[in-house]
Amino acid sequence: MTDDAPPRGDAGVTEPALTVQTVRALATAASLQLAPGREAILLPVLRVWLADNAKLNALMQAEAYRDVLPITLFECGGNESGVR
């Protein structure tokens, strides 16, 4: 592994390298209007979710789980101002 490679966690799963700028870019790509400063609040939550997702993805690639199709739906309701 090179010095610039992402860190690897349990079972060799690559941990996501997230920054406030990454959160902002993801929100923009999803057409989410985040209130100022919200990116910093979301950052630790997304780090955990994505790390756990990477572990689940690695697990689901095992032969025993090849026929299982996980379905996840995320919904986010806005408030009166339209800011989420």
Rounded CA-CA distance 27/47 in Å is 15
* Count of the separate structural domains present in the chain: 1
pTM > 0.85: yes or no: no
Rounded CA-CA distance 84/36 in Å is 11
Contacts of 23 (CB under 8 A, 6+ apart): 34, 39, 42, 43, 46
Quote the pLDDT of residue 21.
Answer: 92
Tell me the residue range of the domain where 80 lies. Answer: 1-84
Q: Does residue 77 or residue 17 have the better pLDDT?
A: 17
Q: Does residue 49 or residue 1 have the better pLDDT?
A: 49
- Confidence bin at 28 (pLDDT 50/70/90): very high
Instruction: Name the DSSP class of 81.
Output: T
* Mean pLDDT for the stretch of residues 9-21: 67
Instruction: Give pLDDT tens digits for 35-82.
Output: 989 999 999 998 888 888 888 888 878 888 877 776 776 777 666 666
